[in-house]
């Protein structure tokens, strides 16, 4: 169940990667932003309950929706990516679980990097990004399930 949530939520971040590619340099091998629309939320049956890990998982979903909706406007998309990075960095301060804390910090770095890439019309390394995101989401998902 955690793996399914991780793969689905990783699609949200990969949607951000696709967004960077769409508003920046075009690339034919970038992931599709439409994959973000069907993300499973297996980590929680009630997203209003839980602790900081679950809140971060909810922020991932919210960021994906916002980024996807603003994908056609480079300025808005870049702002969304930066705001998501700031949010995940802030979330990391509230998380006590060391693995999940590191994962939230990593997501903050990833989104800040994506915002910089969008601003400067650069393509991110999709394969590396996917591996980083899946690891971070798995750690946060496990922590959220335990809350």
d(Cα 95, Cα 102) in Å, to the nearest integer? 9
> pLDDT per residue over 54-97, tens digit each?
999 989 888 888 888 888 888 898 999 999 999 999 999 999 99
Indicate the SS3 state at residue 138: helix
Does the pLDDT of residue 5 top 60, yes or no? Answer: no
- What integer pLDDT is reported at residue 71 of this predicted model? 80
Which has the minimum average pLDDT: 15-29, 37-51, 131-145?
A: 15-29
Q: What is the DSSP string of 21-58?
A: HHHSS--TTPPPGGGGGG---TT-S-TTSS-HHHHHHH
d(Cα 147, Cα 130) in Å, to the nearest integer? 26
Q: What is the DSSP string of 93-133?
A: HH--SHHHHHHHHHHHHHHHHHHHHHHTT----HHHHHHHH
State the pLDDT confidence band at 34, using cuts at 50, 70 and 90: very low
pTM above 0.85, yes or no: no
- What integer pLDDT is reported at residue 32 of this predicted model? 32
- What integer pLDDT is reported at residue 82 of this predicted model? 94
- What integer pLDDT is reported at residue 24 of this predicted model? 43
Does the pLDDT of residue 146 top 60, yes or no? Answer: yes
């Amino acid at each position: 169940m955690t793996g399914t949530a991780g793969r689905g939520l990783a699609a949200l971040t990969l949607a951000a990667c696709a967004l960077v590619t769409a508003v920046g340099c075009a690339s034919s091998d970038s992931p599709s932003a439409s994959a973000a629309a069907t993300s499973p939320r297996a980590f929680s049956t009630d997203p209003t309950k839980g602790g900081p890990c679950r809140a971060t998982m909810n922020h991932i979903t919210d960021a994906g929706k916002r980024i996807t909706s603003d994908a056609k406007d480079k300025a808005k998309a870049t702002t969304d990516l930066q705001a998501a990075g700031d949010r995940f960095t802030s979330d990391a301060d509230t998380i006590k679980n060391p693995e999940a804390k590191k994962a939230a910090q990593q997501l903050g770095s990833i989104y800040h990097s994506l915002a910089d890439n969008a601003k400067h019309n650069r393509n991110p390394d999709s394969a590396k990004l996917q591996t980083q995101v899946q690891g971070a989401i798995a750690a946060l998902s496990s922590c959220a399930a335990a809350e």
